[in-house]
Amino acid sequence: MTAMKKIVSEIQSFHLFLRILIVLVTAGFFAAIARFTFGLGATTNLNDIYPWGLWISFDVVTSVPLAAGAFVLGAIVHCFHIKKLEPLVRPAIVTGFLGYSLVCIGLLLDLGQPQRGWHVFAYPNLHSPMFEVALCVMSYTTVALLEFLSPVCEKLGFHLPLRVLRTLELPLIVLGAAIATLHQSTIGTFFLIAVDKLHNLWYNPILPLLFWISAVFTGMCIIIIEAVMVHRYLNQPDETDLLATLARIIPWFLGIYLALKVFALFYLSERPLFDRPVLTALFTIEMVAGIIIPMIMFLQKRIRTDGVLQLRAAGLVVMFGLVLNRFNVSMFGMIQKNQQIYYPSAIESIVTIGIIAAHILFFAVVARYFPIFEHHSEDTDYAIADGFHRTKGPVVPEKV
Amino acid sequence: MSTTRDLSNQRTFLIDLTKCTGCRGCQVACKQWNQMEAEKTSFFKGEGYQNPATLSEYTLTTIQFKDYFHEGKNEFSFYKAMCMHCNDPACVSVCPVSAFVKTPEGPVIYDTKKCIGCRFCMIACPFGIPRYQWSKALPLVVKCTGCYSRVKEGLIPACAKACPTAIKYGGRQEMIDEAKRRLTANPGRYMNRIYGLEEAGGTSVLYLSAVPFDDIGFRNVTRRPLPSRTWAALRFVPAAFITMGGSLAFISWLTHRKEKIRRDKEMKEAGHASQKGDRS
Amino acid sequence: MAIGCNPAENHPISFKWIEAAIDKGAKLIAIDPRYTRTASKADIYVSIRPGTDIAFLGGLINYALTKNLIQTEYVRDYTNASFIVSEGFGFKEGMFDHWDDREKAYDVKAWTYATDETGKALRDPTMKHGRCVFQLLKKHYSRYDIDTVAKVTGTNKFDYLRVAEAFCGTGQPGKTGTILYAMGITQSTHGVQNVRATAMLQMLLGNMGVAGGGVNALRGESNVQGSTDYGLLFHTLPGYLPSPEYKDETLEAVIARYFPKTKESKSTNWWQNGGKYMVSLLKAWWGENATAENGFCYNYLPKRNGNHSYLQIIKKMIEGGLEGLVCMGMNPAVGGPDSLRAREGLGNLKWLVTADLWETETSIFWKRPGANPKDIKTEVFMLPAAASMEKEGSISNSGRWAQWRYTATEPPGVAKSDLWILDQFHHHVKTLYKKEGGRFPDPIVKLAWNYGSGHEPDVHQVAKEINGYFTRDTTIQDKDKTLEFKAGDQVPAFAQLQDDGSTVSGCWIYCGSYTSKGNMMARRDPTDLPNGLGMYPNWAWSWPVNRRILYNRASVDKTGKPFDPKRPVITWNGSEKKWEGDVPDGGAPPVDDEKGAYPFIMVPEGVGRLFALTMKDGPFPEHYEPIESPMKNPLSKVQNNPCAEVGTNVTCDLNRFPCIGTTYRMTEHWQAGAMTRSLPWLVELVPDMFVEISRSLANEKDIKNGDRVTVVTERGSIEGFALVTFRMQPFVVDGVSIEQVGMPWHFGYAGLATGDSANVLTSGAQSPSSSIPEFKAFLCNIFKGGKGA
């Protein structure tokens, strides 16, 4: 009972915002139960014309790139050895791990027979992009978990595992980036099969490549957003300068993306392109607000170095360059002419909101209880006491 | 995946819509053979006497009616919507648990015991065929089985058996030849096209029609087999993995080496300096 | 030509063969008030105002005559075109001569041929004589010019000409055409004359008796062919033998009255053998009790005192004149006209027995919507019946093939076959009569009933008796052969049936169906004849004597050479002196031979009757308007068929009922709906009652597709959904556009899927000869909204 009491008192000490999140997560949990009790037909607005709706569009197709910060930053910091950005790595890893775990939960909810999820391993189909994504997402989640276990072990003082994890850190990062490349792009490959369904504005053979590139720059932008958020709300230091460095890379990726996109549109896509006014509008917003404007913004030093403007530019990229793009590809661009429109049901919305709330909530909780913001150099040596025993005193050394 | 397997004897439907009278014998035979529930309907859903409105978890084939004036004359046309049993099926390629199989006899069948209900096949099918058991708590995908249980015993599908006029069933080359023969023998009667011959890379259901195919509900489907588009990207997976992993590993090694060299240099200089300091 | 029928929808299996013909180059002409699923497959579709078929066909007859498209040799040699008609025939201003205004009937016997002193009909082989049938025919149909016909039928003139050219073109050598018809032709106050017109057109074109020709009625109920063959209609005995009337006091009287002798030496006149068939039938019914001394129990046969057709029975029931009624697979509450009166009438019965697979509207008439069961005194018995695949027996198709079927599964619960039910009736009634006596028990008590002693009567015994057998050892001389038969042997063919009591036959036309060689109806050999015309002589068995095409002697010229060498139905082999091909219609040599015979063996003169001698309403079909009609008859002063029984609640008030109403069937439902409206897979297809209207009528009445509407006639009103379609078009009649409302009549208040019955709207106006109601043409009005509105 003491444990319960402790939990309750902890929660009561949470900020109101977090407590609201708890309510939303709980609501999402019950909505999920409703989905299993009454079935997908009764609880969602999905039907034979729209077999995939909000859960796939947001919880899978959008959430996966939103969690891309982990592998992007990991690669930048540890492979390219841009140590300046090192403090941002751990939070990114947590975001990544949480993001992918919630993707897995979202997927399980969306499946008709989630209890058969293991069938993907028992009856694999190497030609199926979904098999590849399932495999990669599961492996990546495992990698993210292992990466996440570092701060956990630090907090809980598990020395040997920590040492193992430390050794594995770089291989895991490389592995993570490699796996992430695969599934980020393969989510784009999903839609290659929808050749007569996805509108020509988005359908082209290099869709997977475009998805990967957008995942990369989104990851970077998410890091910016996250860093600004934790500075504003979790008392973390202002990392604007660090972020400015990151912001220098972003416009390059945006530029390459834009170039490829234009090339694909005019040389690889089928015609007609501009026959649907609503879709043309969505496409324009996506490209202008999501790519062109932020690119211009990030190219300017004064914006890169301004905390507020950084956030805005990054936000534009994420909102329009990524979220809108993913919805355009998986939902809006798939609507046929003169077809009924799909909109998510209450249960679908509550579940998705619950998942988003869970992400924020668990991040805040993890940030509160685990050392993800401590800056520590890679050079820190951990004395190895005999085997598994804890060292005396705090494991985490003083700031160097 | 490209295959060089010989399709000439694969079981194929030839549905000559100039002979179809819209009697729905096929619809009822299908329901009877597969023991599917009748849907609750009211009046008609669609033009003419159409019921139910479309394919569903309870209905594996429907006759779609079209009642209109074409070139100044009445037309009352009927289109039997059903799974096309493609030669290179999109559903087979995308299913993560290999629940769909293109059988050697021709029908594309589906193993209900493997399905996880992800509905990717529904997104993939260019003809919009697979339907979902929205009414069930643990839903599965549903589609025409090509009466495989009958075909593998040497019988013909239930709909083909019940149809008195329009459906022929036999080897693919035989059906193609017959279709071509009909088009040349009676050109005024037909639209000069065999639907299903090349759509999605070729299917096991071929249609002939008197009126334009677009008018009566046929979709315009690409001629290139759909799985080839996915495979064009997916085949790079191992390469992408190795390239990404390899280059990052290489870069890491490179930068760490640079670091090490730099640090060694620093330490050496520091050591020299301290040595120097010691001496003085 | 499919006129007044919809084979694609109502006889879908037949359509397979129609399409096979189309594949071989045939053209399908569909003539129907609306564009049906048959029309969708037709090469030529034309619309026709309901009830105007004689105008349409008369116009084709006129076209063939004036454009000289007739097959002259055939018409001259094989029809009565060359016969001279006596002065008793005349036609003026819409009426034929010899109309008795008191009897409200024609004196049919006045329309005769002019005869010589021996009584043989006079002829003019040149067909130019002013009183010969050919000239009279031409004169009669000269009034059916294309403009008049188009005016009456509402058919577009250009389309009509296409039909005329196409169909009348089949009179040319090497060409052939068939006419398919069904209820659209028969269900009219001039239904019989409609059929006559088709037969006349075919005779003029030389299409009777040839392959791909003929007048082909598409029989509806699955065994209506069998039902008429076995004499279930009130005016016939099995095998289309006449049912004697009260004035036929002896068997000899019957034979003299109905089986005339002929004066034509070359006419086979097969009905002259009718006496043998009557006797064999009587022997079948009363067995050993029927002897030559007692006229073979002829006096046990009930003698009819008039018309006891369906409508007369219902009328009597409505008047309270019927004590009890047995309905086996019959649903008067939905299937007959003026359903509301019929349903009320059922309440006048003391008892009602129904035998059906399901509850029908008739069996639950006492708890129908609006009825108070407490007020109804009728005792109702519902006998559950077995379905067709739950019993063994034969079914006869439109081609007269009797195909034997086996029991696929046992009937559910306590359902029983009709054979068992009738056997039980017989057993119990016989026992009651034996015990209690009665006014005249002998006809029942002395019935021969030899169908085995098992629980279920042996249907093979029934079939064998129908075929017939010898009651004693018999020797028959058949030309140069001597045939020996033992008692109990099956009779091989009706030519061997005798009138001395030595043979039994339950239905002479089926004699040959179950011989000593076994059950011919069960054969399934798909080998065709060498002529490859799809006759399959060893597949099942067709009456008569397995002949596949009737009147096939008309397919050869007088020397026995086929008119169409590509389609030789029969050919005379002069050297072997026999016919090859189909079973010839009478084995006699071709006409030119000394012993030759004419082709139409069932009429005394041996040739086809362009001029009819026995039709109640006239020797030539004449167009009259349906009883409820939107226009005045443009062809003559006589509005309706003068012989038609009109009934009381009919009207031509165009102010109240400006639209033409017609009824029809669909593939998805069966007749009154009892068999189909409780099957979920069929209910899924057509769940609700609906009416089909044109877009112009919908606009006029502000009705949208799917709206509820009410349709009203003088008899009553019903509610349904409106199906607005391009396939219905208004008729332009005298420059005025007249709309039509069409509807299926399958619905009722019983079963899984219910709806209002179309026959609430139809009237009891009936055809004089066949007594069939005029279901196909009446006047109605339509309003938006249900009956509550």
Residue C129 carries which DSSP code?
S
Residue B4 covered by a domain:
no
Please indicate, yes or no, whether residues B169 and B265 belong to a single structural domain of this protein: no
- Does pLDDT of A377 surpass 80? no
Q: What is the mean pLDDT of residues A159-180?
A: 84
Q: What is the mean pLDDT of residues C593-607?
A: 93
- Is any Cβ of chain B less than 8 angstroms from the Cβ of A331? no
pLDDT tier, A384 (very low <50, low <70, confident <90, very high otherwise): very low
Cα(A274)–Cα(A363) distance, rounded to whole angstroms?
42
Domain coverage including residue B244: 236-270
Residue B5 covered by a domain:
no
Residue B277 covered by a domain:
no
- Is any Cβ of chain B less than 8 angstroms from the Cβ of A379? no
**Do B126 and A117 lie within an 8 Å CB cutoff?**
no
Residue A11 covered by a domain:
no
Residue A17 covered by a domain:
no
Q: What is the mean pLDDT of residues A139-168?
A: 83
Strands C2-3 and C29-31: parallel
At residue A391, the pLDDT reads 46
Please indicate, yes or no, whether residues B199 and B248 belong to a single structural domain of this protein: no
- Is any Cβ of chain B less than 8 angstroms from the Cβ of A127? yes
pLDDT tier, A400 (very low <50, low <70, confident <90, very high otherwise): very low
Residue A385 covered by a domain:
no
Please indicate, yes or no, whether residues B132 and B246 belong to a single structural domain of this protein: no
Written in H, E and C, the secondary structure of C575-614 is CCCEEEECCCCCCCCCCCCCCCCCCCCCCCCCCECCCCCC
- Does pLDDT of A385 surpass 50? no
Give residue-wise pLDDT tens across range C84-122.
999 989 999 999 999 999 988 999 999 999 999 988 999
Amino acid at B101: V
Give residue-wise pLDDT tens across range C9-64.
999 999 999 999 999 999 999 999 999 999 999 999 999 999 999 999 999 999 99
Please indicate, yes or no, whether residues B53 and B156 belong to a single structural domain of this protein: yes
Q: C35 to chain B: nearest residue by CA? A: B74
- Whole-Å CA distances, C199 to B75, C72, C213, C475: 31, 16, 11, 41
Q: C39 to chain B: nearest residue by CA? A: B76
At residue B212, the pLDDT reads 95
Please indicate, yes or no, whether residues B140 and B94 belong to a single structural domain of this protein: yes
Number of domains in chain B: 2
pLDDT greater at residue A377 or residue A374: A374
At residue A173, the pLDDT reads 86
Residue B57 covered by a domain:
yes
At residue A383, the pLDDT reads 46
Q: What is the mean pLDDT of residues C516-525?
A: 96
Which chains contact B through at least 3 pairs of Cβ atoms less than 8 Å apart? A, C
Which of B24, B75, B165 lies closest to C15 in CB terms? Answer: B165
Nearest to C511 by CA among C464, C459, C549: C464
- Is any Cβ of chain B less than 8 angstroms from the Cβ of A183? no
Residue B231 covered by a domain:
no
Please indicate, yes or no, whether residues B101 and B240 belong to a single structural domain of this protein: no
- Does pLDDT of B194 surpass 70? yes
Q: What is the mean pLDDT of residues C399-426?
A: 95
Q: How far is B16 from chain C (nearest CA, A)?
A: 11
Number of domains in chain A: 1
ipTM of the complex: 0.91
Residues of B with CB under 8 A from a CB of C: 18-19, 21-25, 27-28, 31-32, 37-44, 48-49, 51-52, 67-69, 74-78, 164-165
Please indicate, yes or no, whether residues B93 and B216 belong to a single structural domain of this protein: yes
**Do B21 and C690 lie within an 8 Å CB cutoff?**
no
Residue A42 covered by a domain:
no
Residue B278 covered by a domain:
no
- Centroid of chain to Cα B269: 69
At residue B280, the pLDDT reads 46
- Does pLDDT of A388 surpass 50? no
- Does pLDDT of B2 surpass 70? no
Which of B96, B222, B242 lies closest to A195 in CB terms? Answer: B222
Q: Tell me which range, B238-247, C177-186, C260-269, is most confidently predicted by mean pLDDT.
A: C177-186
- Is any Cβ of chain B less than 8 angstroms from the Cβ of A111? yes
Q: B23 to chain C: nearest residue by CA? A: C667
For C1, half-sphere exposure in the C-beta direction (CA atoms, 13 angstrom radius) is: 32
Residue B280 covered by a domain:
no
- Does pLDDT of C760 surpass 60? yes
Tell me if C610 sits within 8 A of C200, measured CB to CB: yes
Q: How far is B39 from chain C (nearest CA, A)?
A: 6
Q: How far separated are the first and last CA of chain A, in Å rounded?
A: 40
At residue A248, the pLDDT reads 87
Cα(C17)–Cα(C397) distance, rounded to whole angstroms?
14
- Is any Cβ of chain B less than 8 angstroms from the Cβ of A114? yes
Contacts with B77 from chain C: Cβ below 8 Å: 40
Contacts with C681 from chain B: Cβ below 8 Å: 27-28, 31-32, 38
Please indicate, yes or no, whether residues B204 and B65 belong to a single structural domain of this protein: yes
Please indicate, yes or no, whether residues B120 and B192 belong to a single structural domain of this protein: yes
**Do B123 and A194 lie within an 8 Å CB cutoff?**
yes
Nearest to C511 by CA among C499, C524, C523, C495: C495
At residue A386, the pLDDT reads 40
Tell me phi and psi for residue C695, to 5 degrees. Answer: -70, -35
Please report, for the domain that includes residue A128, its CATH number.
1.20.1630.10
Tell me if B17 sits within 8 A of B77, measured CB to CB: yes
Give residue-wise pLDDT tens across range A220-265.
898 888 888 888 887 788 888 878 888 888 999 999 999 999 999 9
Whole-angstrom Cα Rg for chain A: 22
Give residue-wise pLDDT tens across range A28-48.
999 999 998 998 999 999 999
Please report, for the domain that includes residue B177, its CATH number.
3.30.70.20
Q: What is the mean pLDDT of residues A174-191?
A: 91
**Do B44 and C690 lie within an 8 Å CB cutoff?**
yes
Q: How far is B119 from chain A (nearest CA, A)?
A: 6
At residue B275, the pLDDT reads 66
At residue A389, the pLDDT reads 43
Q: Tell the burial category of C69 from Cβ atoms under 10 Å away from its Cβ (0-12, 13-18, 19+).
A: buried
Q: C721 to chain B: nearest residue by CA? A: B43
**Do A112 and B135 lie within an 8 Å CB cutoff?**
no
Q: What is the mean pLDDT of residues B170-186?
A: 96
Give residue-wise pLDDT tens across range C352-363.
999 999 999 999
Please indicate, yes or no, whether residues B120 and B251 belong to a single structural domain of this protein: no
Q: What is the mean pLDDT of residues C422-433?
A: 95
Please indicate, yes or no, whether residues B25 and B124 belong to a single structural domain of this protein: yes
Question: Tokens standing for C239?
Answer: 């095998």
Which of B55, B96, B136 lies closest to A39 in CB terms? Answer: B136
Domain coverage including residue A70: 53-364
At residue A89, the pLDDT reads 83
Residue B111 covered by a domain:
yes
Please indicate, yes or no, whether residues B241 and B118 belong to a single structural domain of this protein: no
Cα(C688)–Cα(A12) distance, rounded to whole angstroms?
63
**Do B42 and C723 lie within an 8 Å CB cutoff?**
no
Q: Which of residues 6-65 of C touch B (CB under 8 A)?
A: 8-9, 12-13, 15-16, 19, 35-41, 45
- Does pLDDT of A209 surpass 90? yes
Q: How far is A308 from chain B (nearest CA, A)?
A: 32
Q: Which of A384-398, C164-178, C204-218 is predicted with the least confidence, judged by mean pLDDT?
A: A384-398
Question: Tokens standing for B230?
Answer: 């996915």
Q: Tell the burial category of C593 from Cβ atoms under 10 Å away from its Cβ (0-12, 13-18, 19+).
A: middle
pLDDT tier, A393 (very low <50, low <70, confident <90, very high otherwise): very low
